Amino acid sequence: MFVKLCMLFSVFAVFAVAMAAKTTPHSYTLEKRAAAQPLYFVKVGTYHYRDNARKEALAADYPLQIIRTRDYYSLVSEPFHEKNGAKVMLQKLRKKYHDAYIITLYRQKSTTKQKRLPRQKSVPQTKRPLSLFSRAIQLYRHNSLEEALVLFDRILIEEPENDYARNYYAKTLMKLGFYDDAEREFQKVHDTALKNESCRYLRQIAIHRSKAPYKSWFAVGLGYDDNINLTTDKNTTQYGPYLLQNDTHKTKSSYATAAFALSHTKKVKDLTLYTTLYSYNELLHSATGNNLNFFDLSTSLIKKYHRFSLVAPVGANIAWLDGKQVSRNIYTAPAILYQASRHLQLKTSLLLNDNHTAFAKNRDYLLIGGGAGIRYKKERWQASADTGIQRYDAKEHIRYDIAKNLFQGRLSAGYNFKKQYRLALVMGYEAHRFTRRDPVMGYKRRDTKSYYALSLTRNINPKKSVTATYRYTDNRSNINTYSYTKNNYTLTYKQHF
């Protein structure tokens, strides 16, 4: 009897130990890990304000949900258990959200009863916010550098001694090309575990500055001009008491083009010296007397100060027509650039030019002018607007068709689509107001020119492209002889080296 009781007690003890082992926290953790299931989401954007995120979610073609991560609100798609489903959704959403990407989160499932677990508030894993630093790292690894830079900057404002955030902040600046700012941030990293990495990046910055990088490109193409000699489209011209008959026969010409540019950049601390040699040539004109050769050499000194950039260029150019020199210029165009925001840049400039015209006497002039412009670039869109005024003063006051005031404006816009194509439109307006009176006609010449150009570029690879361009020009003058219209077509292949 005693033996039977001992055997029964041992069996009961083994059963009790087994049940206790089954419900220990360690065993439960292993079960949770085994039962963890990945969920795949497509993330499409981040917003500071919930209202903005809600408006975007309502306007989307597919259902999106809002997830809050500390002070930010993120939009994600519905969850997918299979990654292939998330990839299909990613292709759909990228038609509108070009920076969308897939994120993976885990949903925990347990086979044990809830009554055996400690009491705690259950929060779905998909709604648990990432830390600010983790989110910044995620953006950095997905190459969303500008968004990551904002988050790293915010972290450093709250935690200026966070060397890990400062190290990533400096690496982000370096990737964006701000080597001076990156160098200053790397020098502030004092953590011994990060010191070797910071020193390595500092050496890379020093090597980058010590180099004298050369860049160049070469372009060849074909062109066609239906009015190469700017022939008037008016039949007659009233020249004082005389009525003159105009020759309205337009000279058409097809030709080949060749262009070349070589640039050299030298950086010394926060100064940059930029030198460029540029050549443009029109060859094999079907209409004789129009082969053009143009060379320009310029150098610019660029100084950056916070958001301002001071640019001081000096240059000279010379032009030949059928082997005979027609003009040469010496010029300078100092400018001030202001980076108002990440996407917006403002510009103001001054232009001084000393011209010598060789193909005709008494045509030399001095030019002084100024202008202002605005640039906007965001994702695939680029746009700009420029305006300016220039004054031409004849060196010899003999000809009345030299001295004038020029008012001009220019608008341009471009859009990149399918990562390989770029469509661009340029529109311009010029008002030429001559200051000297024609002695025979008794009044001053007034010209108004308008033009537009439409171009389509196909990027074959990062260094090769083909561009087709159409340009229309319409010049109206109160002297009919100078009124004309022309159409120009070009097809150009460009190779970068």
In a domain, 31, yes or no: no
- Is residue 98 over pLDDT 80? no
pTM (2 d.p.): 0.60
Beta-strand relationship, 308-321 and 335-339: antiparallel
- Is residue 4 over pLDDT 60? no
Q: Is 212 exposed, middle or buried (0-12, 13-18, 19+ CB in 10 A)?
A: exposed
In a domain, 417, yes or no: yes
* 158 in Cβ contact with 127 (< 8 Å): no
Q: In one letter, which amino acid is 253?
A: S
In a domain, 150, yes or no: no
Give the start-end residues of each E strand in 158-270: 214-225, 236-239, 242-245, 253-268
In a domain, 305, yes or no: yes
Q: Which domain holds residue 278?
A: 214-496
Distance of CA 389 to the CA centre of its chain: 27
Q: Measured between alpha carbons, how far is 184 from 306 in angstroms, rounded to an integer?
A: 14
For residue 3, the model assigns a pLDDT of 52
**What is the phi/psi pair of residue 236, to 5°?**
-135, 160
For residue 144, the model assigns a pLDDT of 83
- Six-digit token pair at 469? 């361009």
Structural domains counted in the chain? 1
Q: Measured between alpha carbons, how far is 447 from 213 in angstroms, rounded to an integer?
A: 45
* CATH classification at residue 297: 2.40.160.40
For residue 452, the model assigns a pLDDT of 97
In a domain, 168, yes or no: no
Q: Measured between alpha carbons, how far is 333 from 388 in angstroms, rounded to an integer?
A: 13
How large is the average pLDDT for residues 55-59?
75
In a domain, 72, yes or no: no
For residue 84, the model assigns a pLDDT of 81
Distance of CA 238 to the CA centre of its chain: 51
For residue 69, the model assigns a pLDDT of 67
- Six-digit token pair at 114? 């809830």
- Six-digit token pair at 143? 């190459």
- Is residue 435 over pLDDT 80? yes
| CA angle (482 as vertex; 476, 487 as ends), nearest 5 | 70
